[in-house]
Amino acid sequence: MTSDTSRLTSPASLIRKHLADHGRLHVLSAASFVLFVIAIFFARGGKAPGLSVSPIFGGALLAIASGAAVETLRKNLWLWLSLGFLLAWQAAGALFGDMPRPFSDFLKIGLLAAFFLFAAQTSRVLSTRQILWIIAGIGAASAFLSIIVHVLKAPDLLNRMIPLGRGGNPIPGAGAIASALIATAALWRDENSRGRKTMFILLMLTVPLVAGLVLTQSRGPLVALCLALPLALLLERRGMLIVLAACLASWLVVTGLVIFEPAIKAVICGSNIDWCRPSNRNEVWERVRDQIALHPILGSGPEFRFPFKWLSHAHNGLFGMALYFGLGGLAASGLMAAGYTRCLTRANDDTLRFFGLASLIFAFGYMGADLPNPFAFFNTHYLFMWFPILLVLARDRSSFNVKATSAAPVPGFVQRI
């Protein structure tokens, strides 16, 4: 009889263990996303590479364990083919190009592929609102502490503030803060967030984010954000071509402000040397144009650097893509953006669609003055550009006529985040 009872309880124990492991998988996935956001907003540069990248690979492994990896590959085969094309293009440049291509070029694409699995697993265990609350809350805390550090340490409060976190620079730091502001705006317009208490909390998050963004004095991200939020509101129900046109317009506006910088400064600047400091982008872009002409097809490779101390990179996303990957790589990136926009405009989640649309328009505007290589190693663009894109793709349930499986349930305590 004891033996029979043992046989009966053994399967029950296995079921309990399975359920416990399943819950643990959800907890670890949620923790990976929180650590990723903390790394963006608090881990400074190369001082904490493990904290910066380990959540991504941890989330990717969890995606493989949960089955999200197979589901994501099946739903978004076109994106994996795009990444494969980029790898093949890099290999062609290494074999037939005039410029050397180190192995690290390929590792960057591998990190992005792992990040896609990470985003897919995050989408399974956290709702859109939970994800946005995490980004907005941690971003606001980082902005608030950045302001305190700036006030205590800066010799002049009017100097540019360098936010805490991965960027270690006002421009990428401003990109991360802008992403938190976009998340806050998405929560603000969410119909389920109209409670007085919730709106007050969102207002309290907005104040340090806006103040921190302004203190960075990063003109490109500021202009890009001012374009992204109203355009996302106006175009959230529009089609792919209109959204792509808005993205290109955002890039053109920021790029045009740099091109016509001397004339604009002559009208509005006067003696203000902080906001009217020279950007030197025009001289940079002239050298970028000349380098593109030398290697127009396969590009000069992502590791190419100009031999000048004052010139570190192309300071423009589209110019940089043509410089590093050639005109073919630039065209392929455009097709990737078009495919993503098609998925974005069909998204059923209004809050996610607004977050993704505003982030995409912001990213294009941001690229008007910086981010020459979106396929570079981990930095704040993994939050304000790649994560919204990959989250939308992971949530898309009708991409290329392939139905997605339903997301696994979320434990109760995660729902209370």
Q: How high is the pLDDT of residue 259?
A: 85
CB contact at 8 A, 282 and 258? yes
Amino acid present at 209: L
CB contact at 8 A, 233 and 186? no
Which has the closest alpha carbon to 135: 85, 182, 188?
A: 182
Mean pLDDT of successive 10-residue segments in the chain (417 residues)? Answer: 45 50 81 94 70 88 89 82 82 76 80 92 93 96 95 85 86 95 93 77 95 93 96 89 95 91 71 63 86 89 78 86 90 88 86 95 95 89 94 68 36 36
Amino acid present at 141: A
Q: How high is the pLDDT of residue 275?
A: 59
For residue 311, list its beta bridge partners: 308
CB contact at 8 A, 166 and 172? yes
Which residues lie closer than 8 Å to 68 by C-beta, 6 or more apart? 62, 117, 120, 121, 123, 124, 394
Spell out the SS3 assignment of the chain: CHHHHHHHHHHHHHHHHHHHHHHHHHHHHHHHHHHHHHHHHHCCHHHCHHHHHHHHHHHHHHHHHHCHHHHHHHHCHHHHHHHHHHHHHHHHHHHHCCCCCCCHHHHHHHHHHHHHHHHHHHHHHCCHHHHHHHHHHHHHHHHHHHHHHHHHHCCCCCCCCCCCCCCCCHHHHHHHHHHHHHHHHHHHHCHHHCCHHHHHHHHHHHHHHHHHHHHCCCHHHHHHHHHHHHHHHHHCCCCHHHHHHHHHHHHHHHHHHHHCHHHHHHHHCCCCCCCCCCCCHHHHHHHHHHHHHHCCCCCCCCCCCCCECCECCCCCHHHHHHHHHHHHHHHHHHHHHHHHHHHHHCCCCHHHHHHHHHHHHHHHHHCCCCCCCCCCCCCCHHHHHHHHHHHHHHHCCCHHHCCCCCCCCCCHHHHCC
CB contact at 8 A, 37 and 118? no
Q: How high is the pLDDT of residue 407?
A: 39
Which residues lie closer than 8 Å to 51 by C-beta, 6 or more apart? 35, 38, 39, 43
- Please state, in angstroms and rounded to a whole number, the distance separating the CA atoms of residues 78 and 74: 9
CB contact at 8 A, 380 and 167? yes
Q: How high is the pLDDT of residue 414?
A: 37
Q: How high is the pLDDT of residue 356?
A: 95
CB contact at 8 A, 279 and 393? no
Q: How high is the pLDDT of residue 45?
A: 62
Q: How high is the pLDDT of residue 151?
A: 93
Q: How high is the pLDDT of residue 6?
A: 44
Return the C-alpha torsion angle 302, 245, 258, 180, nearest 10. Answer: -70
Q: How high is the pLDDT of residue 94?
A: 77
CB contact at 8 A, 223 and 258? no
Query: What's the pTM?
Result: 0.85
Q: How high is the pLDDT of residue 358?
A: 97
Which has the closest alpha carbon to 217: 263, 157, 137, 155?
A: 157
Structure tokens at 23: 């819950």
